[in-house]
Homo-oligomer: A and B are copies of this chain.
């Protein structure tokens, strides 16, 4: 096993860098679509996505599910509450916790955004064959798991 270690680092060939640029590109593209049509930030949309799947989640659960700082969730949530896309109700079992739900309007928007999101994913992945797609998925997952364990 030859351990070649160049003394120069070329960003374009450096995986973490490429991952970052790719991810930003993709996020920006999709974020723009949400923003233009529904005035939703990525965080706001992610919150709605969690609530669409798990109504009654707490902010903390959303924070963990979206891997997002709880302060960021808190502020994004305030915007969603102000726009009445989400309601909150204090959990009677544990009065620290709030149970959050999409309102009727929130659900309407949710139902509109979901197919748009899938469209983007589809358009993004249509450069892959089915095989490549499955492969990519698997590799991303593997890396995803692994990256957690490094520290």
- A residues contacting B by CB (< 8 A) are 5-12, 14-27, 29-30, 46, 49-50, 52-53, 65-67, 111, 114-115, 117-118, 120-121, 123-125, 127-128, 132, 135-137, 139-148, 150-151
**A7 and B111 contact, CB distance less than 8 A:** yes
Q: Could you tell me if B150 and A124 are in contact, using CB atoms closer than 8 angstroms?
A: yes
Q: Is the CB of B15 within 8 A of A118?
A: no
Closest to A8 in B: B53
Instruction: Give the complex CA separation of A121 and B5 in angstroms.
Output: 12
Selected contact of A140 from candidates B6, B7, B15, B65, CB within 8 Å: B15
Assembled-state Cα–Cα distance A115/B141 (Å)? 26
Complex CA–CA separation, A119 to B140 (angstroms): 20
Q: What 9 A-B pairs are tightest by C-beta distance, nearest first?
A: A23-B23, A127-B146, A19-B23, A136-B139, A25-B147, A9-B114, A16-B26, A22-B144, A20-B23
Which B residue's beta carbon lies closest to that of A140?
B18
Question: Is there an interface contact between B11 and A20, defined as CB atoms closer than 8 Å?
Answer: no
Partner of A15, one of B9, B125, B150: B125
Is the pair B7, A114 in contact by a Cβ cutoff of 8 Å?
yes
**A7: B residues at CB distance < 8 A:** 111, 114
| Contact between chains at A26 and B22 (CB < 8 Å) | no
A21 to B147, CA, bound (A): 10
